[in-house]
Amino acid sequence: TQQAAPPQGKPATIVVNGKTYTTDAWFNVPPNVLASTSRKLHLQKDHPVAITRQIIESKFPAPTYKTHNNFDPVVSTFENFDSLGFPPDHVGRNRSDTYYINQTTLLRTHTSAHEAELFRAHASDGYLISADVYRRDEVDRSHYPVFHQMEGARVWDRKAVPNGDVVAAIYADLATLPTHNVKVDDPHPPFHATRNPLQAEHHSPAEAEALGAHLKRSLELMVVEIFSRAKAAAAKQDPDYVDEPLRVRWVEAYFPFTSPSWELEVYYAGDWLEVLGCGVTQQHILTDAGVPGQVGWAFGIGLERIAMLLFQIPDIRLFWSQDNRFLSQFTGVSDDLAKLKRFVPFSKYPACYKDVSFWLRSASAAGGNDKAANKHDFHENDVMEIVRNVAGDDVEDVCLVDEFTHPKTGRRSMCYRINYRSLEKTLTHPETNAMHDRVREALVEKLGVELR
Ligand code: FA5
Ligand code: MG
């Protein structure tokens, strides 16, 4: 049902990390996103994303875990979706959610795109892969079209473990992990027939339970490490710092490539924050990768989410800042983690709110074949991206403040409120007015809306 026309001025080819790709009508990567492919914040020494990666890597040591940090962001739709069991009509495949170079080539939306390749290589019993990932998404202080994930996986080979007893082998490995004394809420059973099923054709209940226990302890130890470092830094900087007990909980989740699946949430600033997804690897992935005798688990962590907690960084745009007032606060930490400090915000510049209201073009006017006047080929992420393309990092958030359908004509009207605010300077009125005018023009030009 996707039918967007190729963007105006679309290049016939693009270059990502020195490799040239041919575009087609599916191409939808804006220049600011394309430029991010060379940044690799997770590899930039003393950058908070890289420091966070280093701390997590220290909890998954070699030789059990082999680390990969330089995989190319351009993957096939097969690697990103099909190999993982995403159904053909999954929403994540839409051009409104994913950046395509051409119909079969995209910027990976998650590090799981490399699972098949890494399981097939089987260079070790476990791996970690950190990388930049790309998603069309909303605009606010915790979302950015580029962010970083770390994926981890661990396998056990049925034939290689003593007596062929996988359960015993997993518990023996679990016994080598430290314990911790953080309160973890984990109210659900290890698997549940409908909500979070056992892969009954492949795993005994005891095997799934053992895999889940090893996975959960490994990740709890990671979170405990992050928070003990965050607390130590806070206590050093603030003599009045009061230690708030860390609260963590496991919730049931769904991913096409794991079952049972969970998400780990951390209680932070009065709310539960999701920091990772994980689960028992779907056996078809290991079978397709040529290692049907292995069983295991996998996880995917949002590195910025963890870094925001660790350093108390309030806005995700800051990670992309080249401002020395930001970067200098982390100098020397990559080589000596004991130097880690919480981020001290520099002054906050004024916000400037501007609204834009418009009537949507109806799908029939847009060339769609649905003649119902109230059907629109509108996706909010298109508005988000237009604002990002015009305002770059000078936009803090964009939110829908009003929506209205005309009772007679069925036409739909939307009003978005844009908060223009730079992290680095006070924006002048002429600057914000000029950006807002360009946003209004681009909405008309690219989405065919009628301004109100
Ligand atoms: C995934 O991407 C799965 N591939 C994770 C996984 C791997 C599950 C292996 C099972 C096995 P999800 O879309 O929930 O799942 O993203 C994982 C994490 O990335 C989230 O928990 C969050 O910490 C982070 N994340 C997701 N979207 C964003 C975003 N727009 N900005 C910043 N961080 C994000
Ligand atoms: Mg999630």
Domain ranges across the chain: 39-73+108-339, 352-451
- Residues 158-183 pLDDT 10s: 999 999 999 999 999 999 999 999 99
d(CA 324, CA 306): 22
Alpha carbon nearest to ligand 1 atom 26, residue: 302
Structure-token match 């159904």, residue found: 87
Contact between residue 55 and residue 226 where contact means Cβ atoms under 8 Å apart: yes
Angle at CA 203, nearest 5°, toward 223 and 161?
80
d(CA 371, CA 417): 30
Contact between residue 258 and residue 281 where contact means Cβ atoms under 8 Å apart: yes
d(CA 234, CA 311): 9
Closest atom of ligand 1 relative to the 275 alpha carbon: 23
CATH assignment of 39-73+108-339, given 1.10.260.40, 3.30.930.10, 2.60.120.260, 3.30.830.10?
Answer: 3.30.930.10
65-68 vs 126-134, strand pairing mode: parallel
User: How many CB atoms neighbour CB 297 within 10 A?
Assistant: 24
Detail the DSSP E strand segments found in 125-191: 126-134, 146-157, 183-185
Q: Is a pLDDT exceeding 60 seen at residue 5?
A: no
Enter the pTM of the model.
Answer: 0.88
Q: Is a pLDDT exceeding 60 seen at residue 3?
A: no
Q: What is the CATH number of domain 352-451?
A: 3.30.70.380
Q: Is a pLDDT exceeding 80 seen at residue 327?
A: yes
Alpha carbon nearest to ligand 1 atom 30, residue: 143
Using DSSP's 3-state secondary structure scheme, residue 320 falls into: helix
pLDDT of residue 358: 97
Q: Is a pLDDT exceeding 60 seen at residue 368?
A: no
Mean pLDDT over the full length of the chain? 93
pLDDT of residue 268: 81
Q: Is a pLDDT exceeding 80 seen at residue 389?
A: yes
Question: In the chain, pLDDT over 90 holds for what percent of residues?
Answer: 83
Alpha carbon nearest to ligand 1 atom 12, residue: 277
Q: Is a pLDDT exceeding 80 seen at residue 271?
A: yes
Q: Is a pLDDT exceeding 90 seen at residue 373?
A: no
| Cα–Cα distances in angstroms (integers) from residue 63 to residues 67, 127, 128, 279, 440, in the given order | 10, 10, 12, 22, 55
d(CA 128, CA 154): 9
Q: Is a pLDDT exceeding 80 seen at residue 439?
A: yes
Tell which one of 266, 274, 285 to mutate to probe ligand 1, the residue whose CB is within 8 A of the most ligand atoms.
274
Q: What are phi and psi of 237, to 5 degrees?
A: -85, -30
Q: For the residues 121-144, what does the mean pLDDT come to?
A: 93
d(CA 11, CA 444): 22
Q: Is a pLDDT exceeding 70 seen at residue 8?
A: no
Contact between residue 299 and residue 276 where contact means Cβ atoms under 8 Å apart: yes
| 33 Cα to the center of ligand 2, angstroms | 22
Here the tokens at position 341 are 């400090």
pLDDT of residue 372: 45
Predicted ipTM of the assembly: 0.99
135 Cβ inside 6 Å of ligand 1: yes
d(CA 299, CA 297): 7
Task: Report DSSP letters for 7-67, one per residue.
Answer: PTT--SEEEETTEEEE--TT----HHHHHHTTT-GGGSTT-HHHHHHHHHHHTS-TTTEEE
Helix (H) or strand (E) holding 81: none
d(CA 27, CA 16): 14
d(CA 364, CA 375): 8
Using DSSP's 3-state secondary structure scheme, residue 327 falls into: helix
Contact between residue 218 and residue 224 where contact means Cβ atoms under 8 Å apart: no
CA atoms within 13 A on the CB side of 323: 14
Maximum pairwise Cα distance, the chain: 75
| 134 Cα to the center of ligand 2, angstroms | 14
pLDDT of residue 125: 96
Selection from 30, 431, 79 nearest residue 288 by Cα: 79
Over its C-alpha atoms, the chain yields an Rg (Å, rounded) of 24
Tell which one of 75, 97, 112, 144 to mutate to probe ligand 1, the residue whose CB is within 8 A of the most ligand atoms.
112
